[in-house]
Amino acid sequence: MQMLATILASVVSGEATEAIGRARRTAVAYLIAGLFAFCGAVFLLVAGYIAAARELGPLPAALWFGGGFVLLAVLVIVIHSISTSVRKRRIAKRRETEMKAVASAAAIAMLPVVASRVGGLGLVVPAVAALAWAVYRENKSRKPGDTDPR
C-alpha cells in the first residue's frame, strides 16, 4: 500500500510541476506581449501628437492630449465608483437573502424541539402561520411604482 501511495504522489506531483511550468511560461509570454502592446500604443500616441501638432501647433496639441487623458482618468474613476456601489448593493441584497434563508431553516429545524417541550401544537400553529406569512410577503409581486421594498 505504501508503494502505491508513493507512485500516486509522484504522478500527481509531476503533473503539478508541469502545470506550474506551463502557467509560468504562459505568464511570461503574456507579459512580453503586453510590453510590446504598450510600446505600440505609446508610439501611436506620439504619432497622433505629432499629427495634431502639425495641424494645431505644439502647445494646443499638448493641451488637447493632456485634457483628453485627464478626462479619461476622471471617466475611469466615475465608472469604477458606480460599479463598486452597484456591486456592494448586490452583495448586501444577496447576504440579506441568505440570512433570511438560514433563519428560516433554523426556525423550521427547531420547530419539533420547541413543539415537544411546550406541549404539542400550542406553538407550532402560530409558528407555521408566521412562516407562511413571511414566505408570502417575500414572494408577493410588487407594483412598478412601489418604492417600499416590503
**C-alpha span between 29 and 23 (Å, rounded):** 10
Is 80 exceeded by the pLDDT of residue 77?
Answer: yes
Q: Which three cell numbers stand for residue 108?
A: 423550521
Q: Is the dihedral of CA 20, 24, 29, 31 positive or negative?
A: positive
CA-angle at 71, arms to 65 and 75, nearest 5° = 145
pLDDT of 144:
59
**Amino acid found at 77:** I
Q: Examine the pLDDT at 10 and tell me if it is beyond 80.
A: no
Interatomic CA distance for residues 122 and 146, integer angstroms? 37
pTM of the model: 0.52
Q: What does the pLDDT read at residue 108?
A: 75
Q: Calculate what percentage of the chain has a pLDDT beyond 70.
A: 75
**Chain segment 11-37, per-residue pLDDT in tens:** 666 777 887 888 899 999 999 999 999
pLDDT band for position 137 (cuts 50, 70, 90): confident
pLDDT tier, 105 (very low <50, low <70, confident <90, very high otherwise): confident
User: Quick one: pLDDT at residue 132?
Assistant: 80
